[in-house]
Amino acid sequence: MTAPSSPHLRPQEVQARNGRRYILRTIKASDAPSLIRGYEALSPQDRWFRMLHAMPEMSEASALAFCTPDLESDFCLVLEGQDELTSEILGGARITGDASGKNCEFSVSLRPEVRRLGLAQAALRMALQAAADAGYERVYGAIARDNRAMINLAVLLGFNIRNNPDDPTLVIAERSLSTPVD
């Protein structure tokens, strides 16, 4: 995988629906304390939606591991905050490669204060383009069946949604990366 060389992983500005421009960049180790605060800012249901298992808080070790992805196969794009959230990361999108080297899994999360501005969509779109640049052929993710926001976002970005045969509480979103992510 050559994800770190993708132009889609270079720092760039994205425009939110409120007209503001936010920096989107790859995550770094020094983001770990902000990641912990961002996780605390999520509601219990959001935490469940994000992790799909009970995890009431994020430990320092987990946060550091999250902020230092294995760049051979994984990467994570985060948005930088402004105003009262200056020096915080707002959330973003992550790609994790699987052992096949052909498939990868996505995840996405955003702080509640900056939702419905198109920011998750922008971060995930850029992450999918970087995943395609890295040579991944297919991207997938498990989504809680009642997570309407994430299912709508996935459909918007061209994912097909199907039942998870192993767990009726989840659906699987998947799409090929050989067609352009518009």
Ligand X SMILES: CC(C)(COP(=O)(O)OP(=O)(O)OC[C@H]1O[C@@H](n2cnc3c(N)ncnc32)[C@H](O)[C@@H]1OP(=O)(O)O)[C@@H](O)C(=O)NCCC(=O)NCCS
Nearer to ligand X, 152 or 163 (CB): 152
**According to DSSP H, which parts of the chain are helical?**
32-41, 44-51, 60-67, 119-133, 148-156
Q: How far apart are CA 56 and CA 47, in angstroms?
A: 7
Count Cβ neighbours within 10 Å for each residue of 125-154 and write b for 16 or more, e otherwise: bbbbbbbbbbebeebbbebbeebeebbebb
Q: Closer CB to ligand X, residue 132 or residue 153?
A: 153
Cβ nearer to ligand X, comparing 115 with 145? 115
Q: Which residues in 29-41 are b (16+ Cβ under 10 Å) and which e? A: eebbebbbebbee
Scan residues 138-167 and list those touching ligand X (CB under 6 A). 141, 143, 147-150, 152-153, 156
Size of interface with ligand X, in residues (CB under 6 A)? 23
Query: 3-state DSSP call for residue 105?
Result: strand
Of 141, 148, 151, 143, the residue nearest 174 (C-alpha): 141
Residue closer to ligand X, measured from CB, 108 or 134:
108
Q: 75 to 134, contacts with ligand X by CB under 6 A?
A: 107-110, 115-121
Looking at the Cβ atoms of 68 and 96, the one nearer to ligand X is: 96
Minimal distance, residue 16 CB to ligand X, in Å: 8
Build a one-symbol-per-residue string for 44-63: x at contacts with ligand X by CB under 6 A, - elsewhere: --x--xx-------------
Binding site for ligand X (CB under 6 A): 46, 49-50, 107-110, 115-121, 141, 143, 147-150, 152-153, 156
